[in-house]
Amino acid sequence: MLTGIINTVALRPGVTELPTRAIAEHVLELYYPQTRPYVDRNGIAHRTRQITLKSSPVIRAVETLRSFAESIGARDLQQVARRHPTQLARTVEVIEDTFVRYPIPLLQRVGAGVVPFLFAVDWPEGTSIRSLRSRGLDRIRLLEGVADQLAVLGPMLRPLIELHWRRDVARWSAISTEDEDLQSHLFGRDRSTFPAILVAGLRELQEGQCFYCRQPLEVRGEVDHFLPWSRWPNDAIENLVLADRCNGAKSNHLAALRHVDRWRRRLHRDRTRLAQLAERAMWATASDRSEALTHTTYGHLAPGTPLWIRGREFELTSGPAWT
């Protein structure tokens, strides 16, 4: 699992260090939706298990946070962060301390020795996060080339990691099904139901035009993940644009550089308006992460990668394309 987390945290080309705090925050993002009961097709509710052990300080901390969020009517982690940042910080602290003590220093252990193939750390098993932080060592150092390779391989690694994770959860939780329902429960659906207020806000922001072809939107329009969900599952409002039939033509292709330039200009120009729209629609907002994910994707393009322009028209990139 930690490999998958590193893959999602190591965003920008050239990243060589990852703060343990960032890893803990991503663990919380992954586990939080999985602490909901899973209801199978027969209507039977299951409490899913994400580890082989019967109990875990990380899972307990996340479940406690979810119970607290439900008691105050918070729909997601962002609402908890806005209304009770101290409660959220306590949960992250428990996760960070647990991962520092055990999974991180043990991940690369083979037999009696350690074989570093992803990262190097400066502490042995059982070390507390407080001890590391006091010495400025609360980070892992990625080995040369690891971040870049994970960024390139991310779209291929993620489905494999999710597949094995899903199978393990089904087995540990005594759930007979491994179908798309469990997949959606654990990792979310490819397509979200977008509230009308969000669609209307995007339409206003784009002055009633398709984001890609700039033609007037004659109907409601379709919400598109600018950076395809198949590349990075990012539902933040900054990654959403409104399109006409271009949405179907683009499909899961990467958009051409002219579209990337327009998306970046919108991100910087309308950052505040997007955040305000997310607040009104009770939707996720993650400006920096959305930009970093796009930076990573376009910063690692292989020569000859097709980028969608319009309809069935593509351009071939000569290599990395982020300036």
DSSP assignments along 38-50, one per residue: EE-TTS-EE---S
- Full residue range of the structural domain in which residue 95 is found: 2-187
- 165 with 242, same domain? no
pLDDT number for residue 43: 75
The answer to whether residue 10 scores a pLDDT higher than 50 is no
Q: How far apart are CA 168 and CA 140, in angstroms?
A: 27
Lowest-confidence segment of 38-42, 88-92, 167-171 by average pLDDT: 38-42
- 176 with 213, same domain? no
- 171 with 205, same domain? no
User: Which among 72, 65, 79, 58 is positioned nearest to 36, based on CA atoms?
Assistant: 65
Specify the 3-state DSSP secondary structure of 220.
Answer: coil
The answer to whether residue 17 scores a pLDDT higher than 90 is no
pLDDT number for residue 233: 79
Q: How far apart are CA 286 and CA 11, in angstroms?
A: 14
Average pLDDT over residues 105-114: 87
- Residue with structure tokens 């703060």? 19
Q: How far apart are CA 73 and CA 252, in angstroms?
A: 35
Model-wide pTM > 0.85: no
| The total number of structural domains that make up the chain | 2
pLDDT exceeding 90 applies to what percent of the chain? Answer: 47
What value does the mean pLDDT of the chain take? 87
User: What is the end-to-end Cα distance of the chain in Å, rounded?
Assistant: 32
With a CB cutoff of 8 Å and minimum separation 6, the contacts of 163 are: none
pLDDT number for residue 149: 77
pLDDT number for residue 68: 92
- 103 with 238, same domain? no
- 75 with 174, same domain? yes
Average pLDDT over residues 28-45: 84
The answer to whether residue 73 scores a pLDDT higher than 60 is yes
Average pLDDT over residues 169-187: 81
pLDDT number for residue 323: 61
Average pLDDT over residues 280-303: 87
- 121 with 257, same domain? no
- Residue with structure tokens 């083979």? 110
Q: How far apart are CA 182 and CA 175, in angstroms?
A: 9
- 162 with 221, same domain? no
- 159 with 216, same domain? no
The radius of gyration of the chain from alpha carbons, rounded to an integer in Å, stands at: 21
| Residue 321, domain member (yes or no) | no
